[in-house]
Structure formats: structure tokens, C-alpha cells
Amino acid sequence: HVINQLLAGLSEKLTYHSIYHTLDVLEQCQRIAGEEGIADEHELYLLKTAALYHDTGFLHTYKGHEEAGYKLAMQFLPAYGFSGQDLKKIGGMILATQLPQTPRNKMEEIICDADLDYLGRPDFFSIAQLLYVEMKEKNLVNTQNEWNRMQVKFIKEHRYFTHSNQQARDPRKKRHCEILESDLLKRKD
């Protein structure tokens, strides 16, 4: 249901916050949960549901999309048999992805790390370019230099919460920051 809603309703101008990002977050949630030893099938089901809903708010708004996604989840998920406790957990995971991220438990840590997993991956620069195009379209950034400065600041302030992502992603994330800083020294606005 949610994938069909995203496919039908997301703007093509969302070059980063697309169905591909949602599916990537879903995949990374599953990977990180496995590496963190989460084996409870019901907890994994809730995590995967939160991953699918975490950016559905983009169907209606750009700013405050997490809160809008939370409301959509609370509106639609009861029809699928989710209990009040399940909804509370899913809602907590969705809202934890708001920046700055503030996870309060392991499942929220996992979805937060999955949401920004790309920062420490080999495909960082191609994914970051998609976000740059999206933010430029929204008039949230003007130049590549301005974008690079924003990324350096963001990466330096970001931290992974799970041990597995700290080990797997932090070294490459640090290297990406160094490359961006070096590029800033070479460029002029």
C-alpha cells in the first residue's frame, strides 16, 4: 500500500527523497538490525513498517515531513491490525529521524542510521548530488560551494548510533568530509 502511494504521489522533483531512498532505508534497516542481533520477527516487522512510512510526509509537505508521515502512519496502520503499542513504537521510529536525530532506543537508532547510511558508503557522492539537486530546486542552496560547506558541517555534526554502523561507515564518512574540505579549498564561489 505505502509503496504504491509513494510511486503515485511523490513529486519527480524529489530527486533524493524518492522511492529509491525509502527502499534503501528499508534495506539498510534490515542489514543493521541483523548486524545488531535483532532477531524478534515482530520487532523487525515494526522496523520495516517505520522505514516504509518514514518519508511519506513528502506526499504532502517538504518542511515537517516526519510529522506528516507520522500522522499518515497513525491514520492508515490501524486498518492493518497494528496495536496501540505497535503504533507507538512505529511513530517513535518515524519521529526519531527528524534532524537532529534523537533516538531513544535500539530500534530508533537503527532507523536513524539507515536513514543517513549513505554518508559512509561508496555511493555517497552520487546520492549527495541528488540531494543537492533537490535542495537547489527548493531554493535551500544556491552554489556547489555552499552545498559542500553545508555537507562538511552536517557530516562533522552527524554520528551513527549503532556499533555496526560506527564500525562500517564512520571511516569512509570521515574520508568523504576530507574530500569535501579539500574541494572547498580549491573552489571559489
Query: Which tens digits make up the pLDDT trace of 94-123?
Result: 999 999 999 999 999 999 999 999 999 999
Amino acid at residue number 154? F
Task: Check: CB of residue 138 under 8 Å from CB of residue 11.
Answer: no
pLDDT score recorded for residue 185: 80
Task: Check: CB of residue 52 under 8 Å from CB of residue 68.
Answer: no
pLDDT score recorded for residue 57: 94
Task: Check: CB of residue 58 under 8 Å from CB of residue 140.
Answer: no
pLDDT score recorded for residue 189: 53
Residue 93 contacts by C-beta under 8 Å, 6 or more apart in sequence? Answer: 46, 47, 50, 51, 54, 107, 108, 111
**Can you say how many angstroms the Cα of residue 9 is from the centroid of all Cα atoms in its chain?**
19
The predicted model scores a pTM of 0.94
pLDDT score recorded for residue 188: 61
Helices (H), the chain: 2-9, 19-35, 41-53, 65-76, 84-96, 106-115, 124-137, 144-157, 163-186
Distance from first CA to last CA of the chain, Å, rounded? Answer: 45
pLDDT score recorded for residue 184: 83
What residues of the chain score a pLDDT lower than 50?
none
22-45 pLDDT, tens digit per residue, is: 999 999 999 999 999 999 999 999
